[in-house]
A and B are shown apart, each in its own frame.
Chain A
């Protein structure tokens, strides 16, 4: 009790060096996480978006975690400082932005949280950004490269992105989003029983999510007409534009996919086709992976896709 009080006093006092900051922060991570979570809860309550249930509690924890993660990195540059005051100011600055959190009641369902977790990760991670094409539309790495019209160097990068996502990115995203094994099983069961219904639900939520998270993309990436997209691909420029915008804009994705249908290996026109697990490596590897106790990959169709694209 006394130690807790002493720590609290220290966190309100001035920290004068970076080493001291690092040590103090490392010892006080629970305090920082609880403080950030409490402030997030208060923000949700004040804005009429709070309900007393585990989903909201998890949401507050997740957003609190993201705030503390930023504080850990940026706080070192603000020394000398009072850690709690600095965290409070960072949180206040974050919440003072327009629509700081993607909150919607429909996003509190397992499929909503899954999609929200992917999209929020894709905003900061290129691995997740590339993986969005697979999770939402079922496009493997080769098809992503063809769809985006990438050259040799960029395509290698895409393969690396898929690899890292498969190895650690997906797992970490699920953990940090608070999606439990039970939620995943529930989702997979829904997909098995009512795949079309689930895809319709994803299609509806996708617009909501993309509207929120597309704000994160630079302002100079607006929607383009079909002709402009064609020009962009023909003249071979705007690689970042293609990745960012097409991953976060369903309408433009369909426009480009329609134009580049001949490039893709699938003859079927791309449409919303949710994939929960990340794209496994080769078919054999995937079988080994599933035998080793990893999460099963789903349908035979996706396994065939994996073999053809890895």
Chain B
């Protein structure tokens, strides 16, 4: 059942294809739809004598052009070449359509020209000054200058001929001269009246013409002004266009220079970074080598330390032996002399218990006032011991037992007014 339905459908389609040439030729189309790449882009009016149509595509080339009537029947068409020109003349009933396709890389264009192959009476009508009616149509878009009009023209010619046949013999007949004269006079009078009316009309017309001329002149002036305005506008437009181009170029150059600058900066930064990296690497290597050297030295010192420790141990043993011997000798000496201690030994002991007296020399900066010097002495609790010799002041201080003299002298040197310090016990240092 389904196969039968399918076969019927296939047969119908084949019949339609077979009828295609007949359908193409039947009936003169009133207008033809134009399809470019299967898209309807416009139509050509086939009722006009000549009709043109053009279409251009900017973004894609033209592959196919098809002409279809309003019922959708494909009347003509062609496939365009990839690039270049292709022409085709499609015959349709009483006329033809010339198709010109021109394809470029960036698009294509189609031009169409419909030429009407009109019948002889239509052409006669046009030549006889019927142009104002040649584009007119009756209801239903039937052309006025068609068969009907041609028949009317033929009828008119026949009527005129019959009238002539009827009247010509009368013109040469036996009517009296007087009646002819009366008729002529009446005609002349009528003509005279008509001429007068015509003269009035001519005068009126000339006035109207004058007015129209003035208006035309005024319009011409306005047109001239407009054209001047257009010129100005176009000049301004061209200037703006030039400025736009200049600005674009400037922008481009600025953009280029900026890019160059940024590139240079990046290059410099990279180079600096690379140098820093190399320097750090070198420093690391030097630190590493120093570290290795230190490790070696530490190892050497450790070995020496061990050696010294061993020596110390042996020396301690020897010292213990020697101390043992000396102890026995001292015990023997003590037993021999059990006298009271001498005066000198007592003084020595007292001295060891007293604060240490320390004598030193100090010189001061030029211009130091005596008060500042006295203040310093008071601060360090020192006393002047003798006269000043060549700028050197002998000073004695009592140092507490644990404080070494060197540390004390260092603290004196740090005073801002002190120039130099000396510890020679014999002579003050030379200036």
Alpha-carbon gap, A168 to B73, bound state (A): 12
Considering the complex, which residues of chain B in the window 1-27 have a beta carbon less than 8 Å from any beta carbon of chain A? 2, 5-6, 9-10, 12-14, 16-18, 20-21
Across the interface, B39 reaches (CB within 8 A) one of A61, A62, A168, A218, namely A218
User: Residue-by-residue, is B334-345 near A (CB-CB < 8 Å gives 1, otherwise 0)?
Assistant: 000000000000
Q: When the two chains form their complex, are residues A33 and B14 in contact, meaning their CB atoms are under 8 A apart? A: yes
Contacting residues, chain A, for B74 (C-beta < 8 A): 69-70, 72-73, 124
Q: Does A128 contact B (CB under 8 A)?
A: yes
Q: Does B70 contact A (CB under 8 A)?
A: yes
Q: Does B72 contact A (CB under 8 A)?
A: yes
Contacting residues, chain B, for A121 (C-beta < 8 A): 72
Alpha-carbon gap, A167 to B88, bound state (A): 32
A125-B72, A128-B72, A218-B40 known; A65 and B66 CB under 8 Å?
Answer: no
Contacting residues, chain B, for A70 (C-beta < 8 A): 64, 66, 74, 77
Alpha-carbon gap, A57 to B77, bound state (A): 28
Q: When the two chains form their complex, are residues B6 and A57 in contact, meaning their CB atoms are under 8 A apart? A: yes
Q: Does B42 contact A (CB under 8 A)?
A: yes
Across the interface, A54 reaches (CB within 8 A) one of B5, B17, B39, B88, namely B5
Alpha-carbon gap, A72 to B12, bound state (A): 17
Contacting residues, chain A, for B79 (C-beta < 8 A): 74, 77-78, 90
Minimal Cβ-Cβ distance residue in B for A130 = B70
Q: When the two chains form their complex, are residues A77 and B140 in contact, meaning their CB atoms are under 8 A apart? A: no
Across the interface, B35 reaches (CB within 8 A) one of A29, A78, A124, A153, namely A124
Across the interface, B40 reaches (CB within 8 A) one of A33, A74, A169, A217, namely A217
Minimal Cβ-Cβ distance residue in A for B33 = A126
Q: Does B186 contact A (CB under 8 A)?
A: no
Q: When the two chains form their complex, are residues A164 and B70 in contact, meaning their CB atoms are under 8 A apart? A: yes
Considering the complex, which residues of chain A in the window 44-98 have a beta carbon less than 8 Å from any beta carbon of chain B? 54, 57-58, 61-62, 65, 68-70, 72-74, 77-78, 90, 93
User: Residue-by-residue, is A154-176 near B (CB-CB < 8 Å gives 1, otherwise 0)?
Assistant: 00110011001000110010011
Contacting residues, chain B, for A217 (C-beta < 8 A): 39-40
Considering the complex, which residues of chain B in the window 204-249 have a beta carbon less than 8 Å from any beta carbon of chain A? none
Q: When the two chains form their complex, are residues A73 and B77 in contact, meaning their CB atoms are under 8 A apart? A: yes
Q: Is the interface of A mostly helix, strand, loop or mixed?
A: helix
Q: Does B195 contact A (CB under 8 A)?
A: no
Minimal Cβ-Cβ distance residue in A for B59 = A219
User: Residue-by-residue, is A127-168 near B (CB-CB < 8 Å gives 1, otherwise 0)?
Assistant: 110000000000000000000000001001100110010001
Across the interface, B41 reaches (CB within 8 A) one of A77, A78, A218, namely A218
Alpha-carbon gap, A243 to B38, bound state (A): 18
Q: When the two chains form their complex, are residues B71 and A168 in contact, meaning their CB atoms are under 8 A apart? A: yes
Considering the complex, which residues of chain B in the window 32-77 have a beta carbon less than 8 Å from any beta carbon of chain A? 33, 35, 38-43, 63-64, 66, 68, 70-72, 74-77
Minimum CB–CB distance from A56 to chain B (whole Å) comes to 11
Minimal Cβ-Cβ distance residue in A for B41 = A218
Contacting residues, chain A, for B64 (C-beta < 8 A): 70, 74
Alpha-carbon gap, A180 to B6, bound state (A): 10
Q: Does B327 contact A (CB under 8 A)?
A: no
Minimal Cβ-Cβ distance residue in B for A55 = B2
Contacting residues, chain B, for A168 (C-beta < 8 A): 71
Q: Does A123 contact B (CB under 8 A)?
A: yes
Q: When the two chains form their complex, are residues A169 and B71 in contact, meaning their CB atoms are under 8 A apart? A: yes
Q: Does B399 contact A (CB under 8 A)?
A: no
Alpha-carbon gap, A180 to B1, bound state (A): 13
Q: When the two chains form their complex, are residues A124 and B72 in contact, meaning their CB atoms are under 8 A apart? A: yes
Minimum CB–CB distance from A11 to chain B (whole Å) comes to 15
Number of A-B residue pairs having CB atoms within 8 Å of each other in the complex: 109
Q: When the two chains form their complex, are residues A61 and B9 in contact, meaning their CB atoms are under 8 A apart? A: yes
Q: Does A26 contact B (CB under 8 A)?
A: yes
Contacting residues, chain B, for A157 (C-beta < 8 A): 30, 141
Alpha-carbon gap, A281 to B18, bound state (A): 30
Across the interface, B17 reaches (CB within 8 A) one of A69, A153, A175, namely A69
Q: When the two chains form their complex, are residues A176 and B68 in contact, meaning their CB atoms are under 8 A apart? A: no
A26-B18, A70-B74, A78-B79 known; A65 and B13 CB under 8 Å?
Answer: yes
Q: Does B139 contact A (CB under 8 A)?
A: yes
Alpha-carbon gap, A176 to B77, bound state (A): 21
Q: When the two chains form their complex, are residues B78 and A72 in contact, meaning their CB atoms are under 8 A apart? A: no
Minimum CB–CB distance from A132 to chain B (whole Å) comes to 13
Alpha-carbon gap, A157 to B140, bound state (A): 8
Considering the complex, which residues of chain B in the window 250-264 have a beta carbon less than 8 Å from any beta carbon of chain A? none
Q: When the two chains form their complex, are residues B72 and A33 in contact, meaning their CB atoms are under 8 A apart? A: no
Q: When the two chains form their complex, are residues A65 and B16 in contact, meaning their CB atoms are under 8 A apart? A: yes
A77-B78, A217-B40 known; A30 and B9 CB under 8 Å?
Answer: no
Contacting residues, chain B, for A178 (C-beta < 8 A): 9
Minimal Cβ-Cβ distance residue in A for B88 = A77
Alpha-carbon gap, A160 to B141, bound state (A): 10
Minimum CB–CB distance from A58 to chain B (whole Å) comes to 6
Minimum CB–CB distance from A26 to chain B (whole Å) comes to 7
Alpha-carbon gap, A128 to B70, bound state (A): 9
User: Residue-by-residue, is B161-173 near A (CB-CB < 8 Å gives 1, otherwise 0)?
Assistant: 0000000000000
A93-B63, A169-B71 known; A54 and B14 CB under 8 Å?
Answer: no
Q: When the two chains form their complex, are residues A156 and B139 in contact, meaning their CB atoms are under 8 A apart? A: yes
Minimum CB–CB distance from A139 to chain B (whole Å) comes to 19
* 5 shortest interchain CB distances as A-B pairs: A125-B72, A77-B78, A126-B70, A124-B72, A65-B13
Chain B positions within 8 Å of A, measured between CB atoms, are 2, 5-6, 9-10, 12-14, 16-18, 20-21, 30, 33, 35, 38-43, 63-64, 66, 68, 70-72, 74-79, 86, 88, 137, 139-141
Q: List 22 A-B contacts (CB under 8 A).
A: A26-B18, A29-B17, A30-B14, A33-B10, A54-B2, A54-B5, A54-B6, A61-B9, A65-B13, A69-B17, A70-B74, A73-B74, A74-B77, A74-B78, A77-B78, A77-B88, A78-B79, A125-B72, A160-B30, A164-B71, A169-B71, A216-B40
Q: A77-B79, A217-B39 are in contact. List 17 more A-B contacts (CB 8 A).
A: A29-B14, A30-B14, A33-B14, A65-B17, A69-B74, A70-B64, A73-B66, A74-B77, A124-B33, A126-B71, A156-B139, A157-B141, A216-B38, A216-B40, A217-B40, A218-B41, A240-B43
